[in-house]
Structure 1
Amino acid sequence: MPNEHCLIVHAAGKQLDLLRGEASRIAKGKQINWWTDRADIGTRFCFEDAKAKESFALTCDGFGVRCRDG
């Protein structure tokens, strides 16, 4: 996909479900698409907008979840 902005998140179980909900909320607010893919270690969350990715990174930090550009 062109213009994808991704973060690899290190979370599992309910924490991962919570982050999926937050990603959906962020994307819906910005009226963009988002998706997840498996990564070697963790889950890749991708957004069509760089600002949505930044918002999601702040959300991860707020929950104490490690993430990195991916």
Structure 2
Amino acid sequence: MTKDNCLIVHAAGKQLDLLRGEASRIAKGSKVDWWIDRPDVGTRFCFEDAKAKEAFASACDSFGIPCRDG
């Protein structure tokens, strides 16, 4: 799976649950697939579409959760 449209976030517990729900909502609205994997540090959220990735980055910003390309 490609990592072109991925973001790494540093969140745990309820914040991570919140982000999973948001990723699911964004992907469903964009009609694309998404997945999570665990790099050495953080959690990588990946999307099939760059627009979905950008929407997720905006959601992270609105929740005050830092993210970076990954």
Q: Same fold (TM over 0.5)?
A: yes
Q: Extract unaligned runs of 5+ from structure 2.
A: none
1:40: Cα distance to partner? 1.4
Corresponding letter in the other structure for 1:5 = N
Q: Percent identity?
A: 76
Indicate conservation of the 8 Å contact 1:3/1:49, yes or no. no
Segments of 4+ moved more than 4 angstroms: none
Residue of structure 2 in register with 1:56 after alignment:
56
- TM-score (norm. length: structure 1): 0.95
Aligned to 1:11: 11
TM-score of the pair, normalised by structure 2: 0.95
Q: CA deviation at 1:25?
A: 0.1
Using the TM superposition, give the Cα deviation of residue 39 of structure 1 relative to its aligned residue in structure 2, in angstroms.
1.5
Q: What residue ranges of structure 1 are gaps of 5+ in the alignment?
A: none
